[in-house]
Amino acid sequence: MSKKKLNWGWGVTALYLGFVALIIALVVGSMRQDFDLVSDDYYQQELDYQNVLDAGKNQAELSKPATIHANETSVTIDFPEEFKEELINGNVHFYSPIEDAWDKQIAMNGVQGSFKVPRSELQKTKYKIKLQWEARGKKYYQESDITLF
C-alpha cells in the first residue's frame, strides 16, 4: 500500500477556498444587518437646525436649565423659576439610540412649572431627552441624558 503525499498546490488551493468562504460569509452577514436612519426627514431637519441653535442660545441665557429627574412612577421636568407663572407649550422627545421603536414624543400644552411623564410609557433604557418649549414669545431647546432602569 502506497501513501500519497499532498504537495504544496493542495495547501494553496485550500487556503484560497477558505478565504473565498470567509468573504462570502462576511458579505451575507453584512447584507442581513438592519440599518435604521435616525430620522426619515433628516434633510428637512438639517435645514431647520438654525432654529434649534437659536432656541439653544435662548435656553443658555436662562438662570438655570430645566431639570429632569425620575422616580419609580414618573419622569419629571422642572422648568426654571422664570417660567413658574408662565404657560408653556412645546414637546419632549425621548430618543432611544438603541431602538427607534422605543422613541416617544409627547406634547406639552399649557404646562405650568413642571411636567410629568409616566414611566409606564417609557422603556428601561438610556434616553436622550430633546426638550423644546415656547414661552413669552421665545423658543427654547435643551438636550439631556437620562437612564431609566
Q: What is the mean pLDDT of residues 21-30?
A: 97
Q: What is the mean pLDDT of the chain?
A: 92
**Could you tell me what percent of the chain has a pLDDT over 90?**
77
Residue 101 is given by DSSP the state: G
pLDDT at 36 over 80: no
Rounded Cα gap, residues 56 and 66, in angstroms: 12
Count CB atoms within 10 A of the CB of residue 12: 10
Q: What is the mean pLDDT of residues 84-94?
A: 94
Q: What is the 3-state secondary structure (H, E, C) of 123-136?
A: CCCEEEEEEEEEEC
Single-letter code of the amino acid located at 105: Q
pLDDT at 38 over 80: no
Has domain 50-147 been given CATH number 3.30.360.10? no
pLDDT at 35 over 80: no
Which of 76-80, 96-100, 122-126 has the least mean pLDDT? 96-100
Task: Let me know: does 134 contact 87? Beta carbons within 8 Å.
Answer: no
Q: What is the mean pLDDT of residues 25-43?
A: 84
Prediction pTM value? 0.71
pLDDT at 108 over 70: yes
pLDDT at 5 over 90: no
pLDDT at 37 over 90: no
pLDDT at 39 over 70: yes
pLDDT at 45 over 90: no
